[in-house]
Structure 1
Amino acid sequence: MALPSSSKLMNARLPLLICLGLGAAGLGIWLATGLLAGEAPAPVVAPRPAAAATLAEPRWFSSMPEAGAARPGPGMLSAKKAPVYGRNGRVIELGGLSIAQYIGTRIAAARSGDARAAYEVYQAESVCAANEDPVADYNDPAELAAFQAERKELSALCAGISPAQVQERLGFLNLAARSGNKAAQIDVYMEGPYGRSVDLTQNPDDPIVKQWKDDALAYLKQAGDQCDHFALALLSTVYDAGQITERDLRTSMAYSIAAAIPRKKPVTQEQLRDRFGEELSADDFAGALALGEQLGKQACPARP
């Protein structure tokens, strides 16, 4: 599926968050931490991976708001001066402060190991990181003009923030992830090893990339075990794509089943057969069904 014009703006800010051939995604529509206005209705079945070097995402992210919709993209300000959105799509309540002022009230605590302050600093610095991402091509000059106006406004908001501060956000993010913050754990995967667009097929022996792959997979599993449907869906896609771990379609299908539990929108065997049936034997398909039920109970023990 080609990128829709409304997704190009997201692509401009989130180069690592491009679906494998399925369109760019804004994370604000899925986050359960105060941002979700309504979940997309697509079933929790991972897409077939395409040959690409960007990180994989579940396909329901292609259900993006149309251009001009009320919800702004990551790092954007709405026409009504709504709260700023970070690179991951989560809202950041700056309370009228600039990014530098906001960080200044939290940086000491963050550097002393306060996980909450560290994540807040990461979020704020991610606004400035998103604002430096490449500009996508626009078919509509009005959309481009709006984007440029928003970028100019955010550049003023980021005044005084250095490139070193933008890059240090990854250290604060990892501190928050180690503390068990599931939002941060998901963001570690979404940011990638360097916090920018990177070809994961190049330099596979890079120690930073190798460590990130191990950490990202472990953090997604930790977040999934907190009954986070997005983390579970990402795990399905990760095992399907084979980018950060060996491809395992049986496990991918199992996580698709588990991801449906917190959404309360179970996938049918017909949907699963349409997606996975051609590549899985009858025994592996049955095994994936059983593993999916097991993973779902492990992740969401309180759910029926």
Structure 2
Amino acid sequence: MVIALASVGLIVGAALIDLEPAPPVHEPVKLLARERSGGSFERSPFGIAQHDRELPPPQGVSVPPKPSRAAEVARLWASADSRDAWHAYQLVDACVRAREVEASAAALPLGPPTAAAREAMASGWESAAQVCDDISAAQIAQRLHHLDVAAAAGVPGAAVALAAEGPFGDRDALAQRPDDPLVVAWKQRVVELMQASAKNGDKDALLALANQYRSADGLVARDPQRALAYWAAQRDIAHAAGARTSRGAGKIAAAWSEGLSEEQIAAAIADGQTLAAQTLK
């Protein structure tokens, strides 16, 4: 979801963290074809998606037809489980992002100077036609409603995704209409959803809030002390889960503490510890 999160500076990876990186997580776009396939995959020893090849099913074994992507989205949206609303949003959002990548690549001028950029943008992604399948324009238009349902229910990751979509799906509204009453109300609600999700241990929300309070990138006013508190909370939660401290942990902590007095740092760390303790109960 890097494309979506970049619009409001919510990229979790942009946060300075003191933890050893986790193993890479395959993005939904790259997994969709495999998840829907009736066959098995012989994986490249290097994990290169383009070199993985699908193996046919054994002889005599019938393979059920691949479900329609639109039908799967409709089934998930009909569920009473808010997590299904989140999964459906991710399917539709993968379609939207794949189209954006293809449009961006197509907009680059042809020729050697842009060849590497065009290849890099397309590398590792399924085509938009494959990702979208038969997802309808109506389902794309409705995706934000179902994302809102998931965010309101506290599904991890949903509140950050809602913030990344921008006010009512307009990613430019935060910069272009910051004082619009509708935008102001939207910001307040989204921040409250992110804070509630953070209290439940949503690491994306914790890091996104830390980044926002550190950079004041549209959603909230700059508050370095609160930023440090959210950063400290996610660090403590990650450590409790077994994450290892990196060799540069001291420098990273100093960067988050920059400009704060010793009293402010101590108060922020204490607030972070309290939040982490509530989450870990």
TM-score range, shorter chain: 0.5 to 0.7
Rg larger for = 2
Matching residue's letter, 2:205: A
Match of 1:132 in 2: 99
TM-score by length of 2: 0.68
Match of 1:286 in 2: 266
Contact 2:207–2:230, Cα closer than 8 Å, also in 1: yes
Q: Pairwise mapping of residues 5-16 of structure 1 onto structure 2 (< 5 A)?
A: 14-16=2-4
Task: For residue 258 of structure 1, report the CA deviation from its aligned partner.
Answer: 0.6
How many residue pairs match? The answer is 232
Match of 2:192 in 1: 218
Q: What secondary structure sits across from 1:181 in the alignment?
A: coil
Distance 2:91 2:122 in 1: 24
Q: Are positions 1:176 and 2:150 aligned together?
A: yes
Task: For residue 211 of structure 1, report the CA deviation from its aligned partner.
Answer: 3.1
Distance 1:71 1:299 in 2: 24
1:273–1:228 CA distance, 2 compared to 1 (3 A): closer
Match of 1:202 in 2: 176
1:97 counterpart (67, 86, 91): 67
Task: For residue 226 of structure 1, report the CA deviation from its aligned partner.
Answer: 1.5
Match of 1:164 in 2: 138
Match of 2:82 in 1: 115
Match of 2:30 in 1: 76
- The farther-off stretch of 289-298 and 271-280 is 271-280
Superposed CA RMSD: 3.5
Matching residue's letter, 2:233: A
Segments of structure 1 that go 5 or more residues without pairing to the other structure are 1-12, 19-52, 64-68, 85-94
2:223 counterpart (248, 256, 260): 248
- The farther-off stretch of 265-274 and 233-242 is 265-274
Task: For residue 248 of structure 1, report the CA deviation from its aligned partner.
Answer: 0.7
Between structures 1 and 2, the one with greater helix share: 2
Q: Are positions 1:233 and 2:207 aligned together?
A: yes
1:70–1:209 CA distance, 2 compared to 1 (3 A): same
1:182–1:70 CA distance, 2 compared to 1 (3 A): closer
Contact 1:229–1:260, Cα closer than 8 Å, also in 2: no
Distance 1:74 1:209 in 2: 30
1:76–1:261 CA distance, 2 compared to 1 (3 A): same
Kindly indicate whether structure 1 or structure 2 has the higher relative contact order, using CA contacts under 8 Å at least 6 residues apart: 2
Distance 1:251 1:16 in 2: 24
1:266–1:214 CA distance, 2 compared to 1 (3 A): farther
Segments of structure 2 that go 5 or more residues without pairing to the other structure are 18-22, 37-64, 109-114
Q: Give the percent of matched residue pairs that are identical in Structure 1 and Structure 2.
A: 25
